[in-house]
Amino acid sequence: MIEGIPAVKRARGYRVYDQKGRRLLDLYQNGGRALLGHRTEGVTAELKRILDRGLYSPYPSVYARRLKKALNLWLPGYPKVVIYRNRDSLIRSLEKDFKIIEPGRNPGAILPGERNLQPSHQGISLYRPYTPVPDRLDGLIPVIPFPFSETPWVLCLREDSSKKNLLDEEVSPVFLAGACKAVHSLLNTQESRDVEEWNFLSQHKFLRQGIYFTYLGDEKSYRDLFSHMLACGFILDPDYPPVNIIPGEYSPGELKLFRKALEEWK
């Protein structure tokens, strides 16, 4: 469904603008990587600072250690951090080292818990910010709110994890520093979304938990809904089952228009 989204010319906060200047409110937020908006405060300046120092290449740097320290502040119950250069590398590790994903049986490259509102109940699971941190899993794959790149991905393991031979992959200091800054921004941001304003979602086959909501209907009807909402100025999760996210900022008019669009589709 993502091919239906028009080419984006610029993005700011929780809104993107197409080539014709049309504004779209983003409830997809790049799968949560734009959870703090498309211009996370301080991240752009941090990236420019690192670029000015010529730190492009994925050589060893101090930024891997700094990212791990930031993640320990965020998820202290999972202090052992492994850094992967991209999603595919993480998935290969889940296949080979943890036997979480069976090779050849995951054509969509879906991570455990990725299509759910809450983490899986056992093993290793994706973890979304502003949800309760599970304390009985072996490891978490946190969604870092770093919208500038699909790298890095990290796996946070419990202190007593039996996996002791996992090595970090080298990632450009640019992306490590950006991800580190994004984690600190998340920790310093007071979550204040008025989720009660969105209680009407339950009237339209949605299930909401906190700031996240999924669709309970079938895939065909969700595709129709996705296209309809896009035409009305809203970007939903282009995957199914979806995990949509209430924007961190929106106007009363946008909320009213969103409700109206749902009523028209219904």
pTM of structure? 0.91
Asked whether the predicted pLDDT for residue 34 surpasses 90, the reply is yes
Q: Supply the mean pLDDT for the chain.
A: 90
Q: What is the pLDDT of residues 114-142, one digit of tens each?
A: 888 777 666 899 999 999 998 889 999 99
Beta strands, E only, the chain: 8-12, 15-18, 23-26, 80-84, 124-127, 139-142, 153-157, 206-209, 212-215, 234-235, 244-245
Predicted pLDDT at 106: 46
What are residue 80's phi and psi, to 5 degrees? -90, 115
Asked whether the predicted pLDDT for residue 158 surpasses 80, the reply is yes
Phi-psi region of 212 (alpha: psi -120 to 50; beta: other; left: phi over 0): beta
Average pLDDT over residues 242-264: 97
**Unique residue bearing structure tokens 């009237």:** 203
Tell me which residue of 242, 178, 233 sits closest to 204, measured CA to CA: 242
Q: What is the pLDDT of residues 69-118, one digit of tens each?
A: 999 999 999 999 999 999 999 999 998 888 876 555 444 567 888 888 77
CA distances from 265 to 58, 225, 231, 237 (A): 48, 7, 11, 17
Q: What is the pLDDT of residues 191-240, one digit of tens each?
A: 888 999 999 999 999 999 999 999 999 999 999 999 999 999 999 999 99
Average pLDDT over residues 241-266: 95
Average pLDDT over residues 240-261: 96
Predicted pLDDT at 176: 95
Predicted pLDDT at 107: 46
Whether the bond between 152 and the residue before it is cis, its omega within 30 degrees of 0, is: yes
Strand partners, 23: 17
Average pLDDT over residues 148-158: 88
Asked whether the predicted pLDDT for residue 151 surpasses 90, the reply is no
Distance, CA of 86 to CA of 70 (rounded, Å): 19
**Unique residue bearing structure tokens 């993107």:** 16
What are residue 87's phi and psi, to 5 degrees? -65, -40
Band (1; pLDDT cuts 50, 70, 90): confident
Predicted pLDDT at 121: 61
Strands 80-84 and 23-26: unpaired
Q: SS3 of 32, please?
A: helix
R_g of the chain computed on alpha carbons: 19
Q: Are 70 and 183 in contact (CB under 8 A)?
A: yes
CA distances from 242 to 56, 122, 183, 239 (A): 35, 21, 24, 5
Please tell me which residue, 100 or 53, carries the higher pLDDT value: 53
Predicted pLDDT at 122: 64
What are residue 222's phi and psi, to 5 degrees? -70, -35
Distance, CA of 245 to CA of 45 (rounded, Å): 26
Strand partners, 258: none
260 burial via Cβ count (<10 Å: 0-12, 13-18, 19+): exposed
Domains of the chain with bracketed CATH: 2-36+194-265 (3.90.1150.10), 43-187 (no CATH)
Q: Which of 25-29, 65-69, 106-110, 174-178 has the lowest mean pLDDT?
A: 106-110
Cα–chain center distance at 55: 25
Asked whether the predicted pLDDT for residue 41 surpasses 80, the reply is no
